[in-house]
Amino acid sequence: MATVAVTDASFQADVVDADKPVLVDFWADWCGPCKMIAPSLEEISEELSDKVTIAKMDIMENPDVPGKLGVQGIPYLALYKNGEIAATLTGARPKSALKEWLESEL
């Protein structure tokens, strides 16, 4: 399963009410580090599809949710479990570090 796009309108259904953990990547088109980690997140999404959904939210097109969460720097990764933020990570990391972090939080 590839990453899924979420919006302010779909956030509640796609993330908060999801039946398994969801890692939300808050990003923007102008963000170089966001573009650097995108391929890694796609691969991790395929590798861990049975354990977690990886979602992407463009903060420029969807300002409400990031604003409510107080997202300051991107890429900002928020892992939701049972409708709540369980862990966060800000900044780009190599794929191995991203996957290790995510697996340790699942």
Which residues are catalytically annotated? 31, 34
- CB neighbour list of residue 99: distance below 8 Å, 6 or more residues apart: 40, 44, 47, 48
Residue 102 to residue 34: CA distance in whole angstroms: 17
Sheet of strand 53-58: strand arrangement: 4-5, 53-58, 22-27, 76-81, 84-90
Torsion of Cα atoms, 9 then 60 then 27 then 22, to 10°: -10
Residue 17 to residue 54: CA distance in whole angstroms: 14
